[in-house]
Amino acid sequence: MSFLDHIRRCNNADLAGFEPWFVGPHRAGFLHRDFAADVVKGSGLFARRDGAWHLDPGLDTPTKRTAAMRAFLLELRERGHFKGLWREEQYDVAPHEGAPILMAMERSAVPWFGVRAGGPHMTGFVRRDDGMHIWVPRRSYEKPTFPGQLDNTVAGGQPAGLGLHENLVKECGEEASIPPELAQQAKAVSVVAYWNQSGMQLKPDIMTCFDLEMPQGFTPRANDGEVHSFELWPAQRVFETVRDTTEFKYNCNLVLIDFFVRHGLLSADDPDFVPIVCGLRMMYTPTNGPG
């Protein structure tokens, strides 16, 4: 295992198996050919032309699109799709960062439609006399996804209607009992982007990385059942665990690698330095897919 292995694992998508789908002139995501043929084709919600799928143009406002998509997804849930992962949480759908919102979509459906998602991922660290340490949570063993794996100090998906920093402050309280006055000191420092495929699901995601230097006397505490426990690890132990194992949730490795680069833990003389840094940002571009 190596840092580059983690980057390759996150960027395993083969877009040859997918076709884009559009809302008017705007590409909203990607549909796997098999999923489109089995599920989307007969829905009445999409039409296929010129090698792409197009949402019904009669749905000419975000409100109409959101309502129609929700009704369709609820039908799919009744037919056994989403495997009990339905979240009742809406994600915004937009062609790219900063563009107008086209609609909102149930979180569990987003990867089935290849919609770009993301959220804040924070590394909480402590400076001590014996060096830098990082707060490492272990995910609850009861979570339906990646139970028991290691995670970023605080992380979460980005629901519709919240700002990224606002969402991070909320997640800090919910996941780690970090009070708002401390959480608000977190700084947005970077982004990590990747194209990950799991069967017919596609995640062209962008995660916003935050750093929070935490006081030595503060200990995060699990609050909402998402986290089993927190441990304070020397940064070098985190570095070696990411480099040598798969103990961390797959995309959390990239956030930590970015932290290692920014804080000088990864040497510029490392022969993989340039491909590692470049590989952390496989961006979702408006027209051409990976970039």
Between strands 201-213 and 187-198, the pairing is: antiparallel
The values of phi and psi at residue 214, to 5°, are: -110, 145
- Confidence label for 287 from pLDDT (cuts 50, 70 and 90): low
Tens digit of pLDDT for each residue in 104-137?
A: 999 999 999 999 999 999 999 999 999 999 999 9
31-35, 51-55, 81-85, 121-125: least confident range: 81-85
How high does pLDDT run on average in the chain? 95
**Helix, strand, coil distribution of the chain in percent, nearest 5:** 30, 30, 40
* H-helix or E-strand spanning residue 273: helix 273-279
According to DSSP, the residues that pair with 234 across neighbouring strands are 133
Tokens at 251, concatenated: 């995309």
Average pLDDT over every residue of 172-185: 97
- Confidence label for 224 from pLDDT (cuts 50, 70 and 90): confident
The Cα 135–Cα 220 span in angstroms is 8
Average pLDDT over every residue of 70-75: 96
- In the chain, the domains with their CATH numbers are 3-12+117-285 (3.90.79.10), 15-113 (3.30.750.160)
Determine the pLDDT at residue 226. Answer: 87
According to DSSP, the residues that pair with 119 across neighbouring strands are 207
Determine the pLDDT at residue 291. Answer: 38
Determine the pLDDT at residue 22. Answer: 97
Start-to-end CA distance of the chain, whole Å, equals 25
55-59, 62-66, 92-96, 125-129: least confident range: 92-96
